[in-house]
Amino acid sequence: MTREDIEFPGEGGITLRGWFYKAEGATGPAPAVVVTHGMSGVKEMHLDDYAQVFAEAGLNVVVYDHRNFGASDGSPRQENDPVLQHRDIRNAITYATTRPEVDASRIGVWGTSFAGGHALVVAAIDKRVKAVVSQVPFISGSRQLAQAVRPDFIHHVREQFDGDRANRFAGGEPAMLDAVTPDPTLPAMMPSLEAYEWFTKTSADRAPSWKNQLTARSLEMASEYEPGSYISRIAPTPLLMIVAAEDADAPYQLALEAYEAAREPKQIIVTPGGHFANYSGPGFDQAAAAARDHFVKHLSA
């Protein structure tokens, strides 16, 4: 397995850093897949495992940390801006096409969780993408906020957003909140116990650069983000959506509804377990194999 440390400019010139995996067995330019993680995730959180499966199948792979996270540059640190992130994915596609190992006419995009939403947006607007996999995707910020926050609290949440915006406008430091918490009654971006257990264990085992922190504006921007609204525009690019049957962090009901609005060619796979079940164990084996087969089928010469 050949893996190379890389860096390339993202939107606005920010330096993004990650890895390039060379397609195994390739004797000439081969397809490439751009792989990105979800909310607060860094590349060491099992993206290397997906990249290895794809590379063994003859696919080049670009994996990187989002701006403001992990090894990539950008500030404010720990700020999750969905618009800049999906624009960075398009820069990653451009980077891939400059490499001699890559056939620029055969590009795929794989995103998981929050970046599962990015994958839908990028596939809809960038027709260099010839196949897309959206895993446990974030679909609708407004609907997810409405599910996560009691209606009588929404006004107070928006007042906090406005206060943070005024403070930052005056030169103050961004307000911060936890990414995950063991107590679902406390404020956090992902207030489920499953999210807390997965992030804390995974960061301790393999991703020391992960931080349990996000800017408050990250939540505001997520609440404005509607990647599911792009899904009908993806065709004729082949879409594979992988949905977890017990997903409460990116509610599976929203993903299933969005899939109905997608046009052919499309395929959906429903895996057992919750939002994080597809990053290791049998869930990983099933999800990685399905994504690999989708890319091999649709990016073949």
CATH code of the domain in which 75 resides: 3.40.50.1820
Task: State whether residue 173 is helix, strand or coil.
Answer: coil
* 201: in domain: no
* 183: in domain: no
* 287: in domain: yes
Q: What is residue 183's predicted lDDT score, i.e. its pLDDT?
A: 87
pLDDT, tens digit (0-9, with 9 covering 90-100), for 182-203: 987 788 889 899 999 999 999 9
Kindly state the average pLDDT of the residues 141-148.
78
Residue 285 pLDDT class (50, 70, 90 cuts): very high
Q: What is residue 151's predicted lDDT score, i.e. its pLDDT?
A: 67
Kindly state the average pLDDT of the residues 160-175.
90
pLDDT, tens digit (0-9, with 9 covering 90-100), for 206-219: 999 999 999 999 99
* 212: in domain: no
- Residue 271's alpha-carbon distances to 49, 137, 204, 232, 263, in angstroms, are 18, 13, 26, 23, 22
pTM score, whole prediction? 0.96
* 180: in domain: no
Cβ neighbours of residue 1 closer than 8 Å, sequence gap 6 or more: 21, 24, 52, 55, 56
* 117: in domain: yes
pLDDT of residue 286 exceeding 80: yes
Q: What is residue 149's predicted lDDT score, i.e. its pLDDT?
A: 64
Cβ neighbours of residue 25 closer than 8 Å, sequence gap 6 or more: 58
**143-152, 153-162, 285-294: the lowest-pLDDT one:** 143-152
Structural domains of the chain, count? 1
Q: What is residue 152's predicted lDDT score, i.e. its pLDDT?
A: 67
* 82: in domain: yes
pLDDT of residue 235 exceeding 70: yes
Mean pLDDT for the chain overall: 95
* 131: in domain: yes
Cβ neighbours of residue 82 closer than 8 Å, sequence gap 6 or more: 114, 117, 118, 221, 222, 225, 227
Q: Which domain holds residue 113?
A: 3-170+224-298
Q: What is residue 148's predicted lDDT score, i.e. its pLDDT?
A: 64
pLDDT, tens digit (0-9, with 9 covering 90-100), for 36-62: 999 999 999 999 999 999 999 999 999
Kindly state the average pLDDT of the residues 96-109.
98
